[in-house]
Structure 1
Amino acid sequence: MSQDSTERIVTALREWIARAAPGARLPSNRELTLQHGASPVTVQKAMRRLSALGLIETRPGVGTFARAMRTARPADYSWQTAALGALPSRMPLLSSTQRSAAPDAIALHSGYPAPELLPERLVRQALARAARLEAAVLRSPAAGSPELQAWFAGELAAAAPVGVTPASARDALIISGSQSGLSSIFRAVVGVGQPLLIESPTYWGAILAAAQAGVELVPVPAGPDGPDPDAVERAFAETGARGFYAQPTFANPTGAMWSETTRTAVLEIVRQHGAFLIEDDWAHDLAIDADPRPIALQDDDGHVIYLRSLTKSVSPALRVAAVIARGPARERILADRAAESMYVSGLLQAAALDVVTQPAWRTHLRGLREQLRARRDLLLDALHEHAPTASVETVPRGGLNLWVRLPEGGDAEQVVRECAVRGVILAPGSEWFPAEPSGAFVRLNYSGAAPERFPEAARVLGDVLSGS
């Protein structure tokens, strides 16, 4: 009964406070006792409840008063529109690849492999060992751990042909993921307002980094064997560009791999124009049917700025990558990185180095190759059977993705929306074009979770394309 009386008094006083002016004095406890026919203990409990709700305040020796109450209203951020100005027309928003999916959805949109494809045991053990090192509490050098620099440079040097001076440890700069490296290269080497040749289609993150750096993109069409060297030559001649950003090995999103003829010709064109080839070797560890052969292996005069990341092969949580550059370009990139983030966590660098220097690392990569092949072929077969009007023009020899062309006249954005309603999450291809899309495409990641659901996903896509 006492609890019921307390609730009754609290309800009555809340209604009174809502009508009263802010700062109005409440009746005394004696008055409330008589008014509600309750005991002094019950009234005191009610007052404590109201105080805990922030509705009243007690001033010793004076009385109890209603607090000023703010009426709840929607937040108004309209002032920020004027403060920020218009969004730059080329500035992309959050990529579809970064959006979350419902737990029961079939997620083919992500750019990362499923956890079971990562060397989880090696990573956990490496982090535990790294936590016991001085790197866990000391500042790392701006250019990175000398041991990790030497490992990245050594990976290139070991495969360098006879007659080419290989990269040295000093040429390597450790960065927190290749995305940050792209931003620094575009700012430090290309420059605001300057033209940069770029494959089309290409990695959406490079388009984003270029937009943020204020670089002017010059699209160069790229096919299964890479761009036409004549088109690259014309673009350099017409624009006077300082650089060409490209993914010659297992390109994202198409999976294309440049032919040896294209590699040799483009490097020679870059040299003739006194420019840089910014080679993004993002999928170096994700080979399936061909081994990576970076163009940087042919360069000993500083025309190739090379990026390699461990994010997708070791762990997205480590975010460790390297830029290999020579001469003044290296110093400018280092200065930009130091200004941006000062240095990369020594703990993460130590853990990454631990993983890639374990004998089990090479064993893991051999197993990963077979798993990626199986998943790629499973998704290809499922599309062929259940979505025959969707075509894959290039079967990737490495990487994580299928680049799928939709039927002529298809609307990729609409297809993506309709598939999402049916529980299949795809990435629309428009994000990978630095200018207007050349057709309707979607990108499908075959390294994600639940490959056994690929046939189900392909049936949904086939039904959407057929209007079922």
Structure 2
Amino acid sequence: MAIDNRAAEIADMLKLQATSMRAGDKLPSVRELSKTYGASPVTITQAITTLSALGIVRAEPGRGTFVAKLKEQTEPDYAWQSSALGRSRVEPGRVSRPGSHGLEDVQLSWGYLAPELQPFDELRTLGVRAAKSHRAWTMAPPMGLPELRRAFATDFSADVQDMLIMPGGQQSLVFAMRTLADPGSTLITESPSYPGATIAAQAAGLGLAAVPSDAEGILPDKLADALERTHAKLIYLQPCYANPTGAILSPGRRVEVLALAKSHGAFIIEDDWARNLSLDGAAPPPLFTQDPDGHVVSIATLSKPAAPGLRVGAIAARGPAGERLRSARIADDMCVPPLAQEIALGLLTSSAWPRHVKRLRSGLLERRDAMVAQIRESMPGARVVNIPTGGIHLWVRLPEGIDSTALTAAAQSAGVLIGDGKHYYVDEPAAPHIRLSFSAASIAQIQAGVRRIATLI
């Protein structure tokens, strides 16, 4: 039964009255309550029905309404769940973000675009248009719309049949790791690296082995040692504008890494999240384009270069691995929502996309340069490890003796959200770092935020 606002008000007042009475005491009749509260008998009956459902009163036909005996409230016992669930795969500390933030906070940790950098007008127009199409409300093919698969295939020089549409990059990571490796096996990751990949590996039940990287990407000799030691069949890499360092895997190392994957029979998961976020010059071609034998499985996403709410991405994979990924896809959620696919397709195939990428490049370049300049001016003891030619992050080396975790907490208390460098390592970091993101804040906010961090150091 629906209850109107007046009945709800009376129910609250009767509840308060019942709490001052003893169990078994009789409430006034409906007629008396109608006079007391100036309400109709129907409204009073609605209020009593609500309280009866809550167990506060009980109605006895022909006798009246009485205060019910309240059941003793006991604390729920969830102890059994700890035994049933077993050990948690994902470390809680790795999934925590610098929590909810107010409008006055400076966001230097968010790995997405500020609203003014998103193609909002274009997405709104495309969304309205797509919503009018019947295709947006019917079941899409599990592999994705053929036209959208073709649009993503272009960057990878891939066959359309090698493409699989996914609900964003993070889901793609979890899905690929879970499908290509058995629980208990090992994933090799460059270090430092994207914490979301670590979480994805843990969610898939994989162990982790870290291999150091530098300005040219992962160190091939160390990768060879790790492959020999762990017998891993899965390697996670960001060859293009790695998060958090901004490093690009150098041409020579690309050849060495591919040769190692071939000799050890391993897959490389190429996280190509930043391809459309180049700032100085063009992005290198995907590693996928240099691999004819199916060792590289690549992941693309629109959530980073377009809008965080546009959860559309793609996986490129050849051979039996591609077949397995495409076959396993239907077990998750049947298909990516067609409405989101239609909007993504409209964006990628319209003249709005190159205009947006050009506008985005200019806006991010200004923000990067402003952040670098402010760090050099306000934080002389800190050092930007690498000025990235793409992406949205700066990897900042702190002076020795600074605790990055304590600094991150102090910055959050001061209204500036930054990334604790420890979260980007699987093992203990060799030096203190923080990650500062320049994509989610204005230039004025970036400058004010960096100055505020400097006072804490």
- Residue in 2 that maps onto 1:326: 318
3-state SS of the aligned residue for 1:96? coil
- 1:270 partnered with 2:261: yes
**SS of residue in 1 equivalent to 2:222:** helix
Is 1:148–2:148 an aligned residue pair?
yes
Q: In the alignment, is the contact (CA less than 8 A) between 1:95 and 1:431 conserved in 2?
A: no
Q: Does residue 180 of structure 1 match 2:179?
A: no
After TM superposition, give the deviation of residue 451 of structure 1 in Å.
2.3
CA distances 1:153-182 after superposition (whole Å, capped 9, x unpaired): 12222xxxxxxxxx2000001111111111
The answer on whether the counterparts of 1:174 and 1:323 sit within 8 Å (CA) in structure 2 is yes
Paired residue secondary structure (1:65): strand
**Pick aligned residue for 2:401 from 402, 409, 415:** 409
| Residues 186 and 210, structure 1, Cα contact 8 Å, conserved in 2 | yes
Match of 2:331 in 1: 339
SS in 2 for 1:24: coil
User: 1:443 and 1:142 mapped to 2: Cα distance?
Assistant: 37
Question: Paired residues, what number?
Answer: 439
Once the two structures are TM-superposed, the CA of residue 84 in structure 1 deviates from its matched residue by 3.0
Q: Is the aligned partner of 1:225 residue 2:211?
A: no
Q: 1:444 to 1:73 in 2, by over 3 A?
A: farther
Identify the residue that residue 234 of structure 2 maps to in structure 1.
243
Deviation at 1:209, TM superposition (A): 0.7
Partner of 1:105: 105
After TM superposition, the score normalised by the length of structure 2 is 0.88
**What's the counterpart of residue 191 of structure 1?**
182
Q: Is the 8 A contact 1:197 1:245 kept in 2?
A: yes
Larger radius of gyration: 1
Report the equivalent of 1:68: 69
CA distance in 2, matches of 1:385, 1:181: 40
Deviation at 1:267, TM superposition (A): 1.2
Deviation at 1:373, TM superposition (A): 0.8
1:239-276 CA distances to partner (integer Å, 9 max, x unpaired)? 22212110011001111111111112211221222222
Output the CA distance in 2 between the equivalents of 1:181 and 1:311. Answer: 12
Deviations 1:64-100 (A, max 9, x none): 3113345777766555444434434746553326x32
1:281 corresponds to which residue? 272
- 1:42 lines up with 2:43 in the alignment: no
Match of 2:427 in 1: 435
The alpha carbon displacement at 1:411 in A equals 0.8
Give deviations 1:402-448, integer Å, cap 9, x for gaps: 11121112111100111112111112112211222232211111011
Matched residue, 2:85: 84
SS at match of 2:365: helix
Residue 165 of structure 2 contacts residue 313 of structure 2 at CA under 8 Å; is this kept in 1? yes
CA distance in 2, matches of 1:40, 1:392: 74
Matched, 1:18 2:20: yes
Structure 1 counterpart SS, 2:20: helix
1:94 corresponds to: 95
CA distance 1:44–1:198, shift in 2 (3 Å): same
Answer yes or no: is 1:375 the counterpart of 2:377: no
Taking only aligned residues, the RMSD between alpha carbons, in angstroms, comes to: 2.7
TM-superposed deviation, 1:310: 0.9
- How far apart, in 1, do the equivalents of 2:269 and 2:234 lie? 7
2:413 to 414, 421, 430: 421
CA 1:27 to 1:112, structure 2 compared with 1: closer, same or farther past 3 Å? Answer: closer
Measured at CA, do residues 126 and 66 of structure 1 come closer, stay the same or move farther in structure 2, by a change above 3 Å?
A: same
Whole-Å Cα distance in 1 between the matches of residues 76 and 415 of structure 2?
33
Seen in structure 2, the aligned counterparts of structure 1 residues 74 and 441 have a Cα distance that, compared at 3 Å, is farther
Secondary structure in 1 matching 2:282? coil
Corresponding residue number in structure 2 for 1:36:
none
Structure 1 residues 18 and 139, CA, compared in 2 at 3 Å: closer, same or farther? same
Aligned to 2:196: 205
Query: Is the contact made by 1:91 and 1:212 (CA closer than 8 Å) also made in structure 2?
Result: no
1:345-390 per-residue CA deviation (whole Å, 9 max, x = no partner) reads 1211111011011112112211211111100010111111112212
Q: Is the CA contact 2:18–2:67 (under 8 Å) kept in the aligned structure 1?
A: no
Residue pair 2:90, 2:202 contacting (<8 A) in 1 also? no
Distance 1:250 1:170 in 2: 27
Instruction: Output the amino acid matched with 2:420.
Output: P
For residues 57 and 40 of structure 2, the distance between their equivalents in structure 1, rounded to whole angstroms, comes to 11
1:330 is displaced (CA, Å) by 0.6
Shift of 1:59: 3.7
Partners of 2:215 and 2:386 within 8 A in 1: yes
Aligned pair in 2 of structure 1 residues 92, 168: CA closer, same or farther (>3 Å)? farther
Is this contact kept in 1: 2:112–2:307, CA < 8 A? no
**Greater mean alpha carbon deviation, residues 322-331 or residues 126-135:** 126-135
Residue aligned with 1:144, SS: coil
Q: Does structure 1 conserve the Cα–Cα contact (< 8 Å) formed by 2:367 and 2:442?
A: no
Show the counterpart of 1:133.
133
| CA pair 357-228 structure 1, distance change in 2 beyond 3 A | same
Q: Which residue of 2 aligns with 1:398?
A: 390
C-alpha contact 1:177 1:321 (8 A) present in aligned 2: yes
For 1:174 and 1:29, the matched residues in 2 are separated by 62
Structure 1 residues not aligned, in runs of 5+: 1-6, 34-38, 158-166
CA contact (8 A) 1:314 1:355 kept: no
Cα separation, partners in 2 of 1:306 and 1:43, compared to 1, 3 Å: closer
Matches of 2:312 and 2:204 in 1, distance apart? 22
Is residue 2:451 matched to residue 1:459? yes
Distance in 1 (CA, whole Å) between partners of 2:159 and 2:15 is 78
Identity of aligned residues (%): 37
Matches within 5 A, 1:160-179: 167-179=158-170
Mark the runs of 5 or more structure 2 residues left unpaired by the alignment: 1-8
Question: Could you tell me how far apart the structure 1 residues matched to 2:39 and 2:339 are?
Answer: 54
Cα separation, partners in 2 of 1:148 and 1:58, compared to 1, 3 Å: same
Q: Kindly state the Cα deviation for residue 63 of structure 1 after the two structures are TM-superposed.
A: 2.2
Q: Distance in 1 between matches of 2:266 and 2:94?
A: 30
Instruction: Say which SS state the counterpart of residue 214 (structure 1) adopts.
Output: coil
TM-score, structure 1 as length reference: 0.86
Give me the whole-angstrom Cα distance separating, in 2, the residues matched to 1:25 and 1:91. 52
